[in-house]
């Protein structure tokens, strides 16, 4: 996880990048978050999970986009450790997408032809309660343990791989020095063509897109894609648009994958607004995921038929390039599985 600031080194804290300061001051205590949002801790919909293995973490800037006094705010619901997480539901498992069966060692997951996923870190700026990797054994599967050496050696000898996906956790939780070290090493592998970064940080912690981060993006020869993660239009305020602008100017492809979540974005108006606002930020809607059935997240799920009905209306309201692909990840499948929603035949 993100280390705490040194207790007796004020100069180090002053020198730390703004995004690291924001991370250190993120909300991690439920009572403090409820007080800030002017919410009653006795409200029945705010009952807390008894489990503490997946703690609360949310940056203050993201909390500022939540509605005070509203226990059903769609951003709050995504990060609140609710008592519903304690309900054991058949079919909801620890490894919902079969990652562990495809681990090659050294933090590499090889599920799809031509691309390999590198688990760069277990740390995230925000703990989303539906996360499919909330039970992932990061201590055993981190590529950074030996300064990437084993992971890079694996990639270098496999010429079938032309794209590396940085994931985690959130790869942008790494320091700029660590990221620079990794990107320089990937640049040196001649058969690699693309770098894909799966990150929620530009959404929940827009301060992360700073000059040092942009500097290593400027020097890579790899064609770079950022796959962002926003689920609701309220997540996309002016600070996010400002953070994404320098990425757009550099020609970086910006895509979004959202998760369809019950009582958060499972209505047409919200999904239309999300696609429109993403495009206003220069981001194309890419995937709308059906929930990965991870243990503790069943209360977010909704029937596939409901998702198909939403997509039929969504496609009648938006141009095709703003309609995300409805998909499910099935363990062992050679790619994401598209869910057919078009009844026209």
- For the chain (length 345 residues), average pLDDT per consecutive 10? 37 58 95 98 95 89 98 98 92 66 70 88 90 61 66 93 92 91 94 97 96 92 97 98 96 97 98 98 97 88 95 96 92 78 64
Which of residues 86, 114, 132 is at a domain's end? 86
Pair (136, 275) in one structural domain: yes
Are the CB atoms for 266 and 294 separated by under 8 Å?
Answer: no
144 within a domain of the structure (yes/no)? yes
What distance lies between CA 145 and its chain's CA centroid?
22
Pair (143, 286) in one structural domain: yes
The pLDDT of residue 133 is 67
Pair (160, 21) in one structural domain: no
Domain that holds residue 73: 10-86
Pair (283, 212) in one structural domain: yes
151 within a domain of the structure (yes/no)? yes
Pair (73, 125) in one structural domain: no
Based on the structure, what is the number of domains in the chain?
Answer: 2
* CATH for 334: 3.20.20.70
Q: Residue 124 annotated as binding?
A: yes
344 within a domain of the structure (yes/no)? no
Take residue 34 and report the two structure tokens written for it: 């409820």
Pair (31, 121) in one structural domain: no
Question: What CA–CA distance (Å, rounded) separates 132 from 169?
Answer: 11
The pLDDT of residue 82 is 95
Pair (189, 76) in one structural domain: no
Pair (302, 159) in one structural domain: yes
Which of residues 86, 108, 140 is at a domain's end? 86
Pair (52, 155) in one structural domain: no
Pair (334, 303) in one structural domain: yes
67 within a domain of the structure (yes/no)? yes
Pair (284, 203) in one structural domain: yes
Non-local (6+) Cβ contacts of 160 within 8 A are 113, 114
Question: What CA–CA distance (Å, rounded) separates 30 from 195?
Answer: 37
94 within a domain of the structure (yes/no)? no
The pLDDT of residue 243 is 97
128 within a domain of the structure (yes/no)? yes
114 within a domain of the structure (yes/no)? yes
pTM of the model as a whole: 0.90
Which of residues 37, 56, 86 is at a domain's end? 86
5 within a domain of the structure (yes/no)? no
Question: What CA–CA distance (Å, rounded) separates 301 from 294?
Answer: 10
Take residue 163 and report the two structure tokens written for it: 């794209």
The pLDDT of residue 344 is 52
Q: Helices 211-219 and 176-187: crossing angle, nearest 10°?
A: 10
Pair (34, 159) in one structural domain: no
């Amino acid at each position: 996880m993100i280390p705490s600031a040194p207790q007796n080194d004020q100069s180090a804290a002053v020198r730390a990048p703004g995004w690291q300061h924001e991370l250190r001051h993120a909300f991690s205590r439920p009572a403090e978050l409820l007080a800030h949002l002017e919410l009653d801790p006795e409200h029945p919909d705010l009952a807390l999970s008894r489990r503490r293995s997946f703690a609360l973490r949310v940056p203050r800037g993201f909390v500022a986009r939540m509605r005070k006094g509203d226990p059903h705010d769609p951003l709050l619901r995504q990060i609140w450790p609710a008592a519903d997480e304690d309900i054991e539901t058949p079919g909801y498992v620890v490894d919902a997408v079969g990652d562990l069966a495809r681990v090659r060692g050294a933090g590499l997951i090889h599920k799809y032809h031509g691309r390999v996923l590198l688990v760069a870190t277990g740390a995230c700026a925000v703990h989303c309660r539906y996360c499919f990797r909330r039970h992932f054994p990061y201590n055993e599967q981190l590529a950074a343990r030996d300064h990437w050496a084993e992971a890079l050696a694996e990639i270098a000898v496999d010429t079938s791989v032309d794209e590396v996906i940085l994931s985690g956790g959130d790869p942008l939780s790494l320091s700029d020095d660590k990221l620079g070290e990794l990107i320089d090493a990937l640049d040196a592998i001649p058969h690699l063509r693309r770098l894909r970064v799966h990150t929620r940080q530009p959404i929940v912690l827009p301060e992360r897109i700073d000059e040092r981060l942009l500097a290593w993006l400027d020097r890579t020869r790899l064609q770079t894609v950022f796959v962002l993660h926003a689920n609701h239009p309220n997540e996309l305020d002016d600070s996010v648009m400002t953070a994404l602008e320098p990425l757009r100017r550099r020609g970086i492809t910006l895509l979004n994958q959202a998760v369809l979540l019950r009582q958060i974005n499972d209505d047409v108006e919200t999904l239309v607004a999300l696609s429109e606002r993403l495009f206003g930020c220069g981001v194309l809607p890419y995937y709308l995921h059906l929930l990965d059935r991870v243990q503790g997240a069943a209360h977010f799920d909704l029937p596939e038929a409901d998702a198909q009905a939403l997509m039929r209306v969504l496609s009648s309201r938006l141009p095709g390039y703003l309609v995300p692909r409805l998909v499910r990840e099935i363990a062992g499948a050679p790619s994401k599985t598209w869910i057919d929603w078009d009844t026209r035949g």
